Amino acid sequence: MPDYAFYRESYLGEDIPEAQFPRFLRRAEAELARMRDVYAVAPRPGLDPDNAEAMALCAIADAVYEFAQEDEARGLSGMTVGSVSESYTAPPELCATTLALRAAHYRHEAGYYLQIGRWLPHA
């Protein structure tokens, strides 16, 4: 499992703040576990298996973080600049299509490091 030093130094991640990294890494691990339940998953040829999985987890964590930022911004319902005033609403429930598109994006990001599919080619 990658730590924050791996995220910054090996993966070269820049977006996730250190204090929030464990939470987004856990969410990335859950997404990768779900992928393993549905698809055949293996490291890309030529990549070290442990490093490939760690890189994939960082890629998924970055994507999860970006979606979380998007969801948070979507909750803003009003803003006043003079004398500063903000109001927020609870973020809407995500529809099935949005969830499916996000899952596909996580697979795409992990796919730089892992082969993910219904079947895998023989080596």
Domain residues of the chain, as ranges? 4-80+89-117
Query: Using one digit for the tens of pLDDT, what is the confidence trace for 24-43?
Result: 999 999 999 999 999 999 99
Question: CA–CA separation, 36 vs 97, rounded Å?
Answer: 21
**Dihedral angle over CA of 63, 37, 7, 2, nearest 10:** 160
Output b/e per residue, 56-88; b: 16+ Cβ within 10 A. Answer: bbbbbbbbbbebbeeeeeeeeeeeeeeeeeeee
pTM: 0.81
The yes-or-no verdict on residue 79 having pLDDT over 70 is no
Q: How far is CA 121 from CA 44, 108, 115, in A?
A: 11, 18, 9
